[in-house]
Structure 1
C-alpha cells in the first residue's frame, strides 16, 4: 500500500497510492470546508468555457467551408446541364442580294468565242449586240422575246459556258447567234450569275462600250428602248 506522510497518515485502506507530486491530501470530515475551493473551480471552468467554444467554432469552420464549396459546385454543374440551350437554326442565312459589277461605260474585252463548229468568233465583230449569258439558264422564251424585239442591225448573241454550244430546239423565225465561252473570259468580266434559273444580258454599242447590264433578263419591255438606242 501507499507510504505514510510526515504525520504517519497513509492512504485509506483499499485505495491506490496518490501521485507524490500532489503532496499531502487531507480529506476533511465536513464537506462544507471545500466550498471555497469548489467555487474557485467553477469560476475557472466558466472562464475556460468561452475559449473552448471559440476553439470548437474555429475547428468546425474549415469543414463547413469545404462542404459549402462542394455544394455550390454541384449546383452550378446541375444548372449548366439542365439550362435550356439556344437551338441552332439549321436554316442557312439568306444570300446577299446580287450586286452586278459596275460595267456600264466600260469597254467589252476583245474575246474570241467559238461557234457550233468550234470556229473562233471575235465577239467585238458582232457589235452592236445584246449578249445573253445562258450558262445559268437557257431561258429560250426570254431569248426568243429578245430576238423578236431587236431592231435591224442589232445582233442577239447567246453565250454558253464551257467548250461547246448548247443544243437548242429548231426555230422557224430569226434566232440568236449561239456561241460558247471555253475560257470563261466573258463570265469573268460580267461576274457570277444573279441566281439559278436566271440569264444575264449586256447591251453593247458599236464602239464596244457596255450601255446597260441586265442581271436578270426579263420581259422585252424593260429594255426595248435600249435596243433602239443601239441601232441609232
Structure 2
C-alpha cells in the first residue's frame, strides 16, 4: 500500500518541483510494487538502444545514415572530377634556352672516348663546332656543318653512353666521340630533347663563342662558324 508523498499534500497543495499534470503522487511502502513499471521501462530501453528485440527500431536510423554517406561521397566525386580534368591541361613548356652566362665561358677539360674506347681530350680538337647527338642523330645537320666549316675548324659529334656511331664514307667526316660520364651535357645544364641536336662553337682558346640549342640551317650560324678559323 502507499501513502501520499510529502506528508500528504498533493499537486493541488502546491508541492514544489512536480507539474500539476502528474496528478497525485503516491509512494508505495514496498518497492516490489513498481516491478511491472520497471519491466516496461526496460523493454522500452532495449528497443531504443538496439539490445535484443530492438533491431527494427534502429533499422530506419541506419538507413538514413547510409543514404547521407552515399550522397556525400557522390557530391565529392562530382566536385573533384572536373578539377582533375582541368589539371591535365597544362601549358606547353617554354623552349629551351641555354644560360646567358654560358657564352664566353671556358669549355671544361673533358676526356671523351672514341670508337676504340680510347680517351680523347676534347680541348685538343679546338677550334671546333661540337654537336651533341644524344637527342637526335640529325645526319643532314651534321653534313651541312661539315660543308660549312672552314679549314682548321673541327666538327665533333658527341653521343651519350659509350657507343660511337660509324662516320660517313665521304672524304671529310666529323670526329665521332662518346661522352660516358655526360660531362658535356652537364656543362650545358639542360637534358637532351628528342628530335633536337645541340651545338657549341668553341674558339682555339677554349672559350664558348655561341650555343645553338636547336641546330638549324647553316645560314643561322655560318658567320660564327667562319669566325672560328685560326
Interval containing the TM-score (normalised by the shorter chain):
0.5 to 0.7
Aligned to 1:96: 93
The 1:85/1:225 distance shift into structure 2, 3 A limit, reads same
The 1:92/1:184 distance shift into structure 2, 3 A limit, reads farther
Aligned to 2:228: 230
196, 199, 224: which is aligned to 1:198? Answer: 196
Aligned to 1:81: 73
Task: Give structure 1 stretches of 5+ with no counterpart.
Answer: 1-47, 50-69
Q: Is the 8 A contact 1:194 1:216 kept in 2?
A: no
Task: Give me the whole-angstrom Cα distance separating, in 1, the residues matched to 2:73 and 2:108.
Answer: 62
Aligned to 2:146: 147
Return the offset for 1:80.
2.5
Q: Is the 8 A contact 1:193 1:199 kept in 2?
A: no
Q: Is the 8 A contact 2:201 2:211 kept in 1?
A: yes
Task: Give structure 2 stretches of 5+ with no counterpart.
Answer: 1-19, 22-61
Aligned to 1:213: 211
RMSD between aligned residues: 3.3
How does the TM-score come out when normalised to structure 1? 0.62
Aligned to 2:156: 157
1:125-144 superposed matches below 5 A: 125-144=124-143
Return the offset for 1:158.
0.3
The 1:139/1:193 distance shift into structure 2, 3 A limit, reads farther
How does the TM-score come out when normalised to structure 2? 0.63
Task: Give me the whole-angstrom Cα distance separating, in 1, the residues matched to 2:199 and 2:207.
Answer: 14
Provide, for residues 86-117 of structure 1, a one-character-per-residue CA deviation record: whole Å limited to 9, x for no partner. 32238474563224233111100111112122
Provide, for residues 57-95 of structure 1, a one-character-per-residue CA deviation record: whole Å limited to 9, x for no partner. xxxxxxxxxxxxx9x988864653343233223847456
Q: Greater Rg, structure 1 or structure 2?
A: 1
Q: Is the 8 A contact 2:131 2:198 kept in 1?
A: yes
1:104-115 superposed matches below 5 A: 104-115=103-114
Q: Is the 8 A contact 2:134 2:192 kept in 1?
A: no
1:29-108 superposed matches below 5 A: 77=69, 79-83=71-75, 84-87=78-81, 88-89=84-85, 91=88, 93-94=90-91, 96-97=93-94, 98-101=96-99, 102-108=101-107
Aligned residue pair count: 173
Structure 1 residue runs of 4+, over 4 Å off?
Answer: 72-79
Task: Give me the whole-angstrom Cα distance separating, in 2, the residues matched to 1:193 and 1:137.
Answer: 13
